[in-house]
Amino acid sequence: MVIPVHDVNPVRRTPYVTYALIAANILVFLFTPGIAGSVAGGSDLAQLCHLQAFMDHYAAVPRELIHHQMPQVVPTGQVGLARSGPGCVVGPPSYDKSPALSVFTAMFLHGSWLHLLGNMLFLLIFGNNVEDRMGHVRYFLFYVVCGYAAGYGFALVNDTSGDPLIGASGAIAGVLGAYLVLYPRARVWVLVPFLIFLPLRLPAWLVLGFWFVLQAVYSSGEGVSDAGTVAYAAHVVGFIAGMLLAWPLKPGTPPPPEPRGLLFGRRARPRPGW
């Protein structure tokens, strides 16, 4: 797996929406009840119960989205005693949950620093150019639509699952799909783990195409042991939705500048006037 660190594709305007989305995701993560202790590895049972209740309330659940089967009992966030020992108390929900709205709130929830920072890195690198091409308002609507497509797409193929679905990955996958359509020839600096992290400058079509193929393979359960804990199918659906939505903008998109310096081990040929 390659790690993108920067793309050679300047923007014309400040990506305010991309920055705002990153800030919102970080703030929600920091203020998620019980998350600080859980990510530090030192959370107690009370924090874990509080976190579980919060996620159950605001995360998207496939069974709720497709069949509107709302649970009769949910975690209350309290700790109680049972015959087997202390545990999280469950009871009738004290709130009215909207499954459709939960898809939106789930886009801002993350379960770990690695989950959060990985998503925000991809959004920062590729979101600014997509926002620059679409404009602020249209880009935000595009982001939300891709997130909904990813959430409901995942729910359709896992319609009996009661496991919460969280994360901005589906919406960000849509951003990656749009970037691939709009800027396939843009160069992206990546780190490739090969004994050490080897820096390479690769075309976006190779970086993002490889990423998409991995998600498609992983969504089938092949080649990865944690396929059940990562919503790879949501990534695939979000990516395809982003490609389709961005396709009408492709004809009017100016090409990215040709980078100078070494490219795949040889020096790029300078254009007249460089």
Lookup: tokens for 102: 């939960």
Q: What is the pLDDT of residue 5?
A: 94
- Positions of E strands within 11-55: none
- Whole-model pTM: value is 0.87
Nearest CA-CA partner of 154 in 244, 241, 58: 241
Residue type, 149: A
Lookup: tokens for 13: 């305007």
Mean per-residue pLDDT, 54-72: 90
Per residue in 86-116, pLDDT (tens digit) is: 778 888 888 889 999 999 999 999 988 889 9
More confident residue, 194 or 65: 65
Q: Which CATH architecture has domain 3-68+97-253?
A: Up-down Bundle (1.20)
Q: Interhelix angle for 169-182 vs 136-157, to 10°? A: 120
Within 135-231, where are the H helices? 136-157, 169-182, 204-219
Distance CA 27, CA 230 (A): 22
Lookup: tokens for 154: 């995942």
Per residue in 114-168, pLDDT (tens digit) is: 899 999 999 999 999 999 999 999 999 999 999 999 999 999 999 999 889 999 9
Domain residue limits, the chain:
3-68+97-253
Q: What is the pLDDT of residue 271?
A: 47
82, HSE (Cβ side, Cα atoms, 13 Å): 8
**214 pLDDT higher than 50:** yes
Helices (H) and strands (E) in the chain, counts: 10, 7
Mean per-residue pLDDT, 76-92: 76
Q: What is the pLDDT of residue 273?
A: 44
Nearest CA-CA partner of 237 in 173, 165, 185: 173
The pLDDT-based confidence of 259 (bands split at 50, 70, 90) is low
Distance CA 229, CA 164 (A): 10
Distance CA 249, CA 17 (A): 19
**266 pLDDT higher than 50:** no
The C-alpha angle 47, 20, 97, rounded to 5 degrees, equals 50
